[in-house]
């Protein structure tokens, strides 16, 4: 079933001042407004998310925990997923996995561009597997070169320090139907309808709408691998797999151009 996988609020930090009260208040106010506007039209994304800029080196560890606790406790009926990206030189790099372990709604990532950074990430985070449940690491990502500014977790960060919301989709099954039936209208109609809904939410909430991340997002049986195999009429990894991935990327890019 095609749906909006996530609405992610991108929360800025003013003048690089990590004022916990301001960040928490801003996050709660924006989430509240977006949730109320979605309720007005009886439409809700599958998940609600918020993305912060990379954590400052000057913010206290207890303040990081307070941001998570205060925001999470403010929405008892809705689970808010929180992205806390962290730089490798942050003094709390070795403690971020503890916050994730204690809060299953917290995600994090770090960005590396050299071997030293990768080694430090391994030593600070991944070697903690001895006393941390291995499944906790699905909430952490190591990116190469730069963070991705996206509603997709965990490899995201508000690197532009912007304010607004973006959305991601769960629509692999709809693309499959479109390919089988050679009917692009079913996809364009879905994208246009979703875009219309969230332009309304933006106007209603007075929160800038940053757009749709149309990346194909697999979920359970809704597999991108199945789409690739459909295109090449063979198993994933067979000759033609990379070309099929390119074809799907172009297909998705053209969809985004209609909004």
pLDDT at 109: 96
Average pLDDT of the chain?
Answer: 90
The dihedral of CA 200, 204, 209, 212: what is its sign?
negative
The dihedral of CA 107, 224, 210, 208: what is its sign?
negative
pLDDT-derived band at 1 (thresholds 50, 70, 90) equals confident
Supply angle C-alpha 100, 106, 109, rounded to 5: 80
The pLDDT tens digits of the residues spanning 185-225 come to: 888 899 999 999 999 999 999 999 999 998 887 677 777 88
The pLDDT tens digits of the residues spanning 118-138 come to: 999 988 888 877 778 888 999
> Higher confidence at residue 199 or residue 258?
199
Are 193 and 185 in contact by the 8 Å Cβ rule? The answer is no
Q: What are the residues facing 106 on neighbouring strands?
A: 82
pLDDT at 100: 95
Q: How far is CA 185 from CA 6, 169, 178, 199, 247, in A?
A: 23, 17, 8, 21, 18
Are 97 and 125 in contact by the 8 Å Cβ rule? The answer is yes
pLDDT at 156: 95
The pLDDT tens digits of the residues spanning 14-23 come to: 877 889 999 9
Q: What percent of the chain has pLDDT over 90?
A: 58
- Rounded average pLDDT over 40-65: 93
Say if residue 27 is preceded by a cis peptide, omega within 30 of 0: no
pLDDT at 208: 98
Coil, helix or strand at residue 55: strand
pLDDT-derived band at 48 (thresholds 50, 70, 90) equals very high
pLDDT at 257 over 80: no
- Rounded average pLDDT over 145-157: 92
pLDDT-derived band at 184 (thresholds 50, 70, 90) equals confident
pLDDT at 259: 67
The pLDDT tens digits of the residues spanning 224-236 come to: 888 888 888 888 8
The pLDDT tens digits of the residues spanning 54-101 come to: 998 888 999 999 999 999 999 988 999 999 999 999 999 989 999 999
């Amino acid at each position: 079933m095609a749906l909006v996988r996530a609405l992610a609020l991108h929360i800025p930090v003013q003048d690089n001042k990590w004022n916990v009260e301001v960040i928490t208040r801003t996050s709660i106010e924006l989430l509240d407004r977006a949730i109320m506007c979605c309720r007005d039209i009886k439409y809700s994304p599958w998940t609600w998310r918020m993305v912060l800029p990379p954590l400052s080196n000057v913010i206290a560890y207890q303040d990081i925990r307070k941001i998570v606790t205060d925001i999470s406790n403010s929405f008892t009926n809705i689970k808010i997923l929180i992205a806390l990206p962290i730089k490798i030189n942050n003094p709390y790099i070795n403690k971020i996995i503890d916050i994730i372990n204690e809060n299953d709604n917290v995600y994090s990532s770090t960005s590396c561009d050299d071997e030293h950074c990768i080694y430090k990430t391994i030593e600070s985070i991944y070697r903690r597997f001895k006393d941390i449940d291995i499944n906790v690491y699905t909430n952490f990502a190591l990116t190469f070169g730069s963070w991705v500014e996206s509603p997709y977790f965990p490899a995201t960060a508000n690197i532009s320090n912007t304010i607004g919301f973006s959305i991601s989709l769960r629509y692999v099954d709809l693309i499959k139907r479109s390919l089988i039936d050679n009917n692009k209208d079913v996809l364009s109609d879905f994208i246009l309808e979703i875009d219309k809904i969230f332009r309304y939410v933006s106007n209603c909430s007075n929160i800038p709408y940053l757009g749709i991340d149309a990346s194909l997002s697999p979920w359970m049986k809704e597999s991108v691998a199945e789409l690739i195999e459909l295109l090449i009429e063979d198993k994933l990894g067979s000759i033609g797999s990379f070309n099929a991935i390119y074809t799907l990327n172009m297909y998705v890019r053209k969809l985004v151009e209609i909004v």
